[in-house]
Amino acid sequence: MAEALTNTDLQVDDKSLLFIATDRISAYDVIMENVQYFMLSIQVRKLSILPIEAIIRGYITGSAWNEYKKSGTVHGIKVAPGLKKSEAFPDGPIYTPSTKAEQGEHDKNIHPGQAAAILGEYASTVASLAVQLYKAAHAYALSRGVIIADTKFEFSVDEETNEVVLADEVLTPDSSRFWPKDDYGVGRGQQSFDKQFLQDWLAKEGLKGKEGVRMTEEVVQKTAEKYKEAWERITEGK
């Protein structure tokens, strides 16, 4: 059995796993201590994940904004001067990878060149696929009134064909920032349908990165409502 921050994997046979999605939630690489109410499972193909998280950023926010204010860079990449918080990158989305840390450790933002050294022959394919996926998802979500500010993808390599394949969770509120299009504005923080609400609460309460945190019932309910609203808007409740 392998247990990630919010999911659990059980081995079925040599080629497949039972992927169990729980209602655990993590923030700043720490799992909240609240009781679990349900688990949903699906049988999936067993893969070895490449050791990079392929983060695609369409808008400058979060850690990217913090770095940009200090140095004018994002993951060490020089970007356009004069950007305001939450503004779209003028040249389109950018590939800003991070390391994939073991549980209990923290991912580290790295330059694409560092990711290339880690991924070797698969580096350009991973970067290209991640950008293409983001662009397609962003366009679809925008038509439903949702802006995908950024998201992360994970990839593996098919051992039989040597092809890079998409793996793990995709475009969830745990791995993405979802903003309402009708409330979007440059130069400020945004309302969101993701775990930013939880992260803001943790920071406000001085609990950022601390173990053993139990969310209040209000935080649980509001976070759940935001996740549900993301699903309803993007899928139209289907």
**Residue 62: count of CB within 10 angstroms of its CB:** 18
In the chain, how many domains are there?
Answer: 3
Report if residue 190 sits inside a domain: no
**Do 89 and 107 have their domain in common?**
yes
Whole-model pTM: value is 0.80
Report if residue 227 sits inside a domain: yes
Element (H, E) at 74: strand 73-74
**Residue 122: count of CB within 10 angstroms of its CB:** 19
Residue range of the domain that includes 69: 48-183
Phi-psi category of residue 104: left, alpha or beta, with phi > 0 → left and psi -120 to 50 → alpha? left
How do residues 23-61 score in pLDDT, each as one tens digit? 656 665 666 565 554 556 667 788 899 999 999 999 999
Domain edge (last residue) among 9, 24, 46: 46
**Range from 90-94, 147-151, 215-219 carrying the lowest mean pLDDT:** 215-219
**Do 134 and 25 have their domain in common?**
no
**Do 70 and 163 have their domain in common?**
yes
CA angle 217, 222, 178 (to 5 degrees): 145
Q: What SS3 state is found at 117?
A: helix
How do residues 119-143 score in pLDDT, each as one tens digit? 999 999 999 999 999 999 999 999 9
